[in-house]
Amino acid sequence: MTDHEVDPLPCPRHVGYAILSGAVGSTAGEGCNDNYAGGCVPDTGYDVDCVDVSGSDLDVVGTDVDGLDRDGDGIACEG
């Protein structure tokens, strides 16, 4: 690489979600969806599944925009 070339930024889908999560068990941090608490549900432009989430048994504190609370009890990604 020359002095004028720049490394491309990683696609957000490939960024490690643990990096985005901040402290697990806290409220949503930077890059996390504010509709969930207790871990980090990445705030993305695409559908997120529980395998993409940092933490389990997350509280749904807003709208379950990603459909992570299958049984509607207010707890997402029950493990």
Residue 3 lies in a domain: no
More confident residue, 16 or 7: 7
Q: What is the pLDDT of residue 74?
A: 95
Contacts of the segment 71-78: beta carbons below 8 A, 24+ positions apart:
76/36, 76/41, 76/50, 77/39, 77/50, 77/53
* Structural domain contains residue 33: yes
Dump pLDDT digits (tens) for 25-68.
444 567 899 999 998 999 988 889 999 888 889 999 999 999 99
Whether the pLDDT of residue 22 is over 70: the answer is: no
Percentages helix, strand, coil for the chain (3-state, rounded to 5) are 15, 15, 70
Is 16 contained in some domain?
yes
Q: How far apart are CA 57 and CA 39, in angstroms?
A: 9
Within a domain: 51: yes
Domain that holds residue 64: 8-79
Confidence of residue 79 (pLDDT cuts 50, 70, 90): confident
Instruction: Indicate whether 76 belongs to any domain.
Output: yes
Which of the two residues, 60 and 12, has the higher pLDDT score?
60
Number of structural domains the chain divides into: 1
